[in-house]
Structure 1
Amino acid sequence: MKSIPIKHRQRGMALLVSLVFLLLLTLIGLSSMQSATLQEKMTSSVMLRNQSFQIAEAALRMGESAVQVDTYSLAVCTTATQCAPPAESATVTAAGRNSTSGVTWVAAGAGFYGVQNIGTTLTAVNVPSNTSATLYRITAVA
C-alpha cells in the first residue's frame, strides 16, 4: 500500500470553506427576509393611513353638507373650551355629545364628524365686504 505524501493530503479545508459559504448565504437570506417583511409592514401602514384619510375626507364632506342645509342650526360656543378645537378628536370611538367640548360627534360611514358654531363675523374671506357670515369648524376623524 502506497502512502500519500503529507504535503498533498487533504485536511478538511473544503468542508470548512463550504460551511463558511453556507453561513454567509444563510445570513444574506435572513437579511432579505427581514427586509421583505419590513417593506410589507410599511406598505400596509401607508395603505391604512390613506384609507383613514379618505374616510375622514368623506366625513368632512358630510359635515359640510349638513351645515349647508338652510334649516341647520347649532348654538354658538360660549366658552374658550367649547370654541377650541375638540381635544377628544384623537380618541373618538362612538357618536354622541362630549360634555367637555360640547361637540356632538356624528357617525359618517366608518368615521365621525363634529361641528362647532364659532359665531358670526363681517370679515370672513371669500364673501363680499360687510356681509354677515356664520363660521363653523368641522372636525372629521377616521
Structure 2
Amino acid sequence: MSVFPRTPRSQRGMALLVSLVFLLLLTLIGISSMQNATLQEKMAGSVSLRNQSFQAAEAALRVGESAVQLDSYLLAECNDTRQCEPPAESSTVKAAGFIASSGVTWIASGTGFYGVQNIGTTQMAVNVPSNTSATLYRVTAVGIAGNSRSVVESIYAKY
C-alpha cells in the first residue's frame, strides 16, 4: 500500500464537471433574470396604456360636457328605464354611431368616444331660487389605448 496522495492524474475531469455545474447554475439565473425583466417591461407598458386610455377618456368627457353646456344643445329625454341606464356598450364600443338599445349616439373625440343621455329634469333646492329646475345629462366617455379601455362618466345639470 502506498502512503502517497493521489496524483493529479486521477483527478482529471472533476474540474470540468464542477465548472459545468456552475455554468448551468449561472445560465438558469440568467434566464430567470431575463424572464423577470420581460415581465416588468410588459407591466410597465400596461400601466402606460392604462394611463393613456384614462387620459383619452377624460379628454372625451370634457368635450362631451362642453357640447352639453352650449345653449343650443338639445337632446330628447330617454324613453324608458332601459334607455336611461348607463350605456352597456361602453365596454365594447369601437366606433362612432347610434346604438338603438341604449339610445346613445357615440361621437368620436381624439382616441376615445363620448355619448350623452338626457335623464330628465329635477327641482334644484340648494343655492338657487325656488322652483328652478335643471335638465340632467349623463355624459359617458370611453378612452382606448392599445388593449386598455377606460370608461368615465359625469352628470351635468343644465338650468
| TM, length-normalised to structure 2 | 0.81
Alignment of 1:1-142 (within 5 A): 7-8=6-7, 9-123=10-124, 128=128, 130=130, 131-142=132-143
Match of 2:152 in 1: none
Shift of 1:110: 1.2
Distance 1:122 1:60 in 2: 25
CA distance in 2, matches of 1:104, 1:129: 34
Distance 1:49 1:42 in 2: 10
For 2:136, the aligned partner's letter is L
Q: How many residues end up aligned between the 2 structures?
A: 137
Q: Which runs of 5+ in 1 are unaligned?
A: none
Runs of 4+ in 1 over 4 A off after TM superposition: none
Q: What is the alpha-carbon root mean square deviation over aligned residues?
A: 1.6
Quick one: distance in 1 between partners of 2:97 and 2:11? 82
Following superposition, the deviation at residue 38 of structure 1 comes to: 0.4
- Structure of higher RCO (CA pairs closer than 8 Å, 6+ residues apart): 2
Distance (whole Å) between structure 1 residues aligned to residue 28 and residue 124 of structure 2? 66
**Percent identity (aligned):** 72
Q: Distance in 1 between matches of 2:89 and 2:129?
A: 35
| 2:115 alignment partner, SS class | strand
Unaligned runs of 5+ in 2: 144-159
Higher strand share: 2
Question: Quick one: distance in 2 between partners of 1:135 and 1:73?
Answer: 12
* Kept in 2: contact 1:60–1:140 (CA 8 A): yes
Amino acid at match of 1:68: Q
1:93 counterpart SS class: coil
Contact residue 122 and residue 129 of structure 1 kept, 8 A: no
Q: Which moved more, 1:48-57 or 1:126-135?
A: 126-135
| Shift in Å, 1:128 | 2.2
